[in-house]
A = this chain, B = another copy of it.
């Protein structure tokens, strides 16, 4: 097993621990759970606000949503921009790194649509 980043003296959530140099494993360290790619899906659909992600039909718990957004920010998959002119609220949007997940999420949508009966795509066919 391989490690990246700083020593073990302060094992925080920010410490980067890679299980292997495999890019698939590395991607899974960022994206590999049942919720993160649903947030990315919503972002690809143009949703930008905490409440929007919360309102998705899967019903993500708010503490999990907070943590996942923090992780995506940390890994620069998303960034925050002012939500509207004058206002102080922030919106989440995908960075180029995040937008690059489009094909992956579309593949997942296509696989689910093809092999799991009874599913229906919300994501546009593009």
Contacts and interface: CB of A to CB of B under 8 A. Distances in A.
A94 to B, nearest CB: 12
A120 interface: yes
A11 interface: no
Contacts of A100: 111, 114-115
- Central interface residue in A103, A107, A110, by most chain B CB within 10 Å: A107
Interface residues of A, number: 50
Interface of A: 1-2, 4, 18-35, 37-38, 41, 56-59, 97, 100-101, 103-105, 107-116, 118-123
14 contacts: A4-B118, A20-B56, A22-B109, A22-B112, A22-B120, A24-B37, A24-B38, A24-B109, A27-B108, A28-B34, A97-B115, A100-B114, A104-B107, A107-B107
